[in-house]
Amino acid sequence: MSYIKQIESLVILQDIDKEMGDLEKTLEAAPKEVETLKERLEIQENQRKQVEEKLKILQEQDEKLTKELEEDQAKLKKSKNKLMMVENSKEYHAIMREIDTLEKNSRLKEEEKLTLEEELDTQQRLLDALNEEISKISGELQQKEDALDKIINRCESRIKELKEKRAEFAKQIPPPILSRYEFIRARLSNPVIVPVEDSICTGCHISIPPQTYIELQKGLQILSCPNCQRLIYWKNHFEVE
């Protein structure tokens, strides 16, 4: 195989590896997005449960206060009726003290009920907001779950195609060159093979030695950048091709 064909095969191999790497990242990220939404949903549902429990307690307290206020009003009415039938001042003052106590207790309970109703309103608005957020997350989660299988199937199918294509091109590259490519790929991030333009390696953006640049221009063998160790080729060879 000619020098130019070897470079072409290596570049194609690199493109295949890059696409496979991107697809594998997608396969890894897609389920994480679903898991993240599930975690968010669980947090919101736990908060909703806490708010619902608090609302239940507040409602029970409100019902209890309402009942007590009704009972106090009945007692107050009864005491006022008794006041109309008193026969002496001693009995009169006793009933008045009873009425004062009942009215004072009623005022305190009414203030407590007002505070309770404000808290009930706050918690109800919080529950409404949580329900809205849970509905939103649930809808998004459903969409992600529906799309997840399609994403996985598409990525796995494409990866299978790329592996077959990669095997074909790998056969076209001499084993020593392929081994160098694989060795570098395992230790450096993409790209592994890069063009040199005006004696500058486009992988590390550092000038290569003049003698190496001369050898590269001859196009007789595949060389490595002395600085970053990536495989390099002269860009002009492909402009001519």
Return d(Cα 7, Cα 169) in angstroms, integer.
Answer: 11
pLDDT on residue 239: 66
Burial degree of 202 (CB within 10 A; 0-12, 13-18, 19+): middle
The overall pTM is greater than 0.75: no
**Residues 208/201, Cβ–Cβ less than 8 Å:** yes
- pLDDT for 1: 65
Distance, in Å, from the CA atom of 225 to the CA atom of 42, rounded to the nearest integer, reads: 52
Which tokens hold the place of 19? 């696409």
Does the domain at residues 19-172 carry the CATH identifier 1.20.1250.20?
A: no
The per-residue pLDDT for 80 is 87
In the predicted structure, residue 11 carries a pLDDT above the cut 80: yes
Counting beta carbons within 10 angstroms of the beta carbon of residue 240, is it exposed (0 to 12), middle (13 to 18) or buried (19 or more)?
exposed
Checking if the pLDDT of 182 tops 80, the result is yes
pLDDT of residue 241: 43
Helix, strand, or coil (residue 229): coil
Mean pLDDT in residue range 63-80: 92
Alpha helix stretches (DSSP H) within the chain? 3-83, 89-172, 175-187, 210-218, 235-240
Mean pLDDT of the region 164-186: 92
**pLDDT for 109:** 93
Angle at 180 between CA 179 and CA 182, to 5 degrees: 65
Residue 68 pLDDT > 90, yes or no? yes
Q: Mean pLDDT throughout 135-140?
A: 95
Quick check: 225 pLDDT over 50? yes
Domain ranges of the chain: 19-172, 177-240
Per-residue pLDDT tens digits for 82-131: 888 887 888 888 889 999 999 999 999 999 999 999 999 999 999 999 99
Residues 188, 194: Cα–Cα separation, whole Å: 13
Q: How far apart are CA 21 and CA 13, in angstroms?
A: 12
Mean per-residue pLDDT, 71-89: 87
**Per-residue pLDDT, 240:** 44
Q: How confident is the model at residue 194 (pLDDT cuts 50, 70, 90)?
A: very high
DSSP symbol at 84: T
Q: CA distances (Å), 138 to each of 47, 144, 175, in order?
A: 15, 10, 52
- The residue among 62 and 241 whose pLDDT is bigger is 62
What is the pLDDT of the chain when averaged over all its residues? 92
Find tokens 């009414």 and name the residue. Answer: 110
Section 230-240 average pLDDT: 84
Mean pLDDT for 169-193 is: 90
Confidence of residue 29 (pLDDT cuts 50, 70, 90): confident
